[in-house]
């Protein structure tokens, strides 16, 4: 049976792909949905002057807006209907996930199964609408004051009508993206929300490539730098693929049970512990906290910031917390390591896992069930989290160091690269699963046909 499965897996070729009609329909639906997402990113908010906004945004680069703009595919820079992207949903889902691991009532709801999951998803959507409304209001208010000192007005007709209209448009744009992501997940291939984020990041690849080769043609960028960039990206992608697939598999053994032949047989399985349990959450949290002072001072304006003691502190911090500064990279690395351990402790509960193993009769060979199993799981998880934190720190700090040394803005930072590689690997895995299921379906049909002929 194993050899037959291996032969089927090895025959996943283009010929087999052409026969999988349902898979092709799913892929085409996904591509069409992503095209709709890209079209929406060019539809501006009502009452906003796109040309003035582009000039103003160029003056405030380097803050937290760049991070959100990257995830939204440039929608924030153009202030489109989907300027907020799916970041409010990501934030709300993280908050609900943290709360469900800390709050007793939400923790009990999480254990209810499918019904509890639906309630938590409903709370996540409520939180998304709430965050969209707050962010949309502050964004619309900021747009009205945006560029007032330089004499450029980004909003054509400021006032409460513009703010209310902007909030409604932004909330509707984000909720439409969530609906589009759900449609991709159910009728397409891959995780819809993750694919939308990846599409926004990849959308900036052509402009970055054109700018880099234009710099090479004009002589401002040497051939060594271009080759180094390409080699670094390829190396980081291979490194991320290896580390994201890496697992520490703990052997789980169950009591002996009678088989069909009357023999006593012990069941064995594995408990996989990912090297990077926290995913991309630590870099997002760390970079958001570090870039917050820079964003505040940019919106307030340097002259306003310098009029007060707090403003002077913010301006001074900007000198030390700008991209590529030694203090920024040191705090960035420390923040990633801290959030790695914090988020891993929240999403994985060794005590709950040990209790479930004990209820099902499973145990780790050489470790007593119960408290000793919990201590062993915590021991193993702590040590692999150290490796995962070092891996995330290297992937995120190396691009920052390269940008600081070369002065070339790299559109694929560490966080973006992690998202792109993870989503790509997950999507390819799902495609392979569909192809494998299709081939197993053909084998079952052939077996039934042979049985009828006999």
β-bridge partners, 264: 258
Reported as type and span, the H/E element at residue 253 is strand 247-258
In a domain, 281, yes or no: no
Helix (H, G, I), strand (E, B) or coil at 155: strand
- Which residues constitute the domain of residue 183? 26-204
| Cα torsion 394, 397, 401, 407: sign | positive
Other Cβ atoms within 10 Å of 351 Cβ, number: 14
Q: Point out the least confidently predicted range of 9-18, 57-66, 167-176, 356-365.
A: 9-18
**Res. 386 pLDDT band, cuts 50 70 90:** very high
Q: In this structure, are residues 364 and 268 in contact, taking their beta carbons and an 8 Å threshold?
A: no
Reported as a single tens digit per residue, the pLDDT across 260-305 is: 555 555 577 888 888 888 888 888 778 777 766 666 555 555 444 4
In a domain, 98, yes or no: yes
In a domain, 187, yes or no: yes
In a domain, 380, yes or no: no
| Cα torsion 333, 338, 341, 344: sign | negative
Query: Quick one: pLDDT at residue 10?
Result: 45
Residue 200 in tokens: 């926004």
Query: Quick one: pLDDT at residue 41?
Result: 85
Which CATH number fits the domain that encloses residue 75? 1.10.3370.10
- Give the highest mean pLDDT range of 119-133, 156-170, 402-416: 119-133
Helix (H, G, I), strand (E, B) or coil at 340: helix
Number of domains, the chain: 1
In a domain, 147, yes or no: yes
Stretch 137-146: mean pLDDT, rounded? 76
In a domain, 338, yes or no: no
Determine phi and psi for 346, rounding to 5 degrees.
Answer: -80, -45
Q: Point out the least confidently predicted range of 133-142, 203-212, 317-326, 335-344.
A: 317-326
Q: In this structure, are residues 314 and 297 in contact, taking their beta carbons and an 8 Å threshold?
A: yes
In a domain, 164, yes or no: yes
Stretch 121-134: mean pLDDT, rounded? 89
Q: What angle do CA 282, 283, 288 make, to 5 degrees?
A: 105
Q: Point out the least confidently predicted range of 3-7, 210-214, 266-270.
A: 3-7
Query: Quick one: pLDDT at residue 233?
Result: 83
Stretch 347-356: mean pLDDT, rounded? 84
In a domain, 327, yes or no: no
């Amino acid at each position: 049976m194993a050899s037959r499965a291996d032969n089927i897996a090895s025959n996943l070729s283009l010929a087999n792909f052409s026969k999988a009609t349902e898979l092709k329909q799913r892929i085409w639906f996904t591509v069409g949905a992503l095209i709709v997402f890209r079209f929406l990113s060019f539809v501006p908010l009502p009452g906003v002057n796109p040309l003035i906004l582009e000039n103003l945004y160029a003056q405030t680069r380097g803050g937290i807006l760049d991070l959100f703009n990257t995830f939204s595919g440039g929608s924030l820079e153009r202030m489109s209907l989907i300027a907020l992207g799916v970041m409010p949903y990501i934030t709300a889902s993280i908050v609900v996930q943290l709360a469900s691991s800390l709050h007793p009532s939400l923790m009990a709801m999480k254990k209810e199964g499918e019904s509890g999951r639906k309630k938590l998803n409903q709370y996540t959507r409520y939180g998304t609408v709430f965050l969209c409304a707050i962010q949309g209001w502050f964004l619309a208010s900021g747009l009205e004051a945006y560029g007032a000192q330089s004499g450029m007005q980004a909003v054509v007709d400021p006032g409460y009508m513009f703010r209310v209209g902007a909030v409604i448009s932004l909330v509707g744009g984000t909720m439409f993206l969530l609906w589009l992501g759900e449609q991709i997940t159910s009728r397409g291939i891959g995780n819809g929300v993750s694919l939308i984020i990846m599409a926004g990041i990849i959308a900036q690849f052509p402009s970055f490539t054109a700018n880099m080769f234009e710099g090479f043609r004009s002589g401002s960028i040497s051939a060594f730098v271009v080759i180094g960039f390409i080699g670094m990206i390829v190396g980081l992608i291979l490194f991320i693929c290896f580390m994201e697939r890496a697992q520490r598999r703990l052997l789980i053994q169950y009591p002996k049970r009678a088989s069909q032949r009357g023999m006593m047989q012990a069941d064995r399985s594995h408990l996989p512990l990912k090297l990077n349990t926290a995913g991309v959450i630590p870099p997002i949290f760390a970079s958001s906290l570090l870039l917050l002072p820079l964003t505040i001072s940019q919106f307030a304006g340097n002259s306003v910031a310098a009029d007060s003691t707090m403003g002077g502190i913010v301006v001074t911090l900007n000198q030390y917390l700008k991209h590529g500064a030694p203090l920024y990279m040191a705090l960035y690395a420390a923040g990633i390591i801290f959030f790695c351990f914090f988020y891993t402790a929240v999403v994985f509960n060794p005590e709950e896992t040990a209790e479930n193993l004990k209820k099902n009769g499973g145990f780790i060979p050489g470790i007593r069930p119960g408290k000793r199993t919990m201590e062993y799981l915590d021991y193993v998880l702590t040590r692999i989290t150290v490796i995962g934190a070092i891996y995330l720190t290297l992937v995120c700090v190396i691009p920052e160091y390269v940008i600081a040394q070369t002065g070339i803005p790299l559109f694929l930072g560490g966080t973006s690269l992690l998202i792109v590689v993870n989503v790509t690997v997950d999507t390819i895995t799902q495609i392979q699963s569909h192809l494998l299921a299709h081939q197993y379906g053909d084998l079952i049909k052939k077996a039934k046909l042979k049985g009828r002929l006999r």
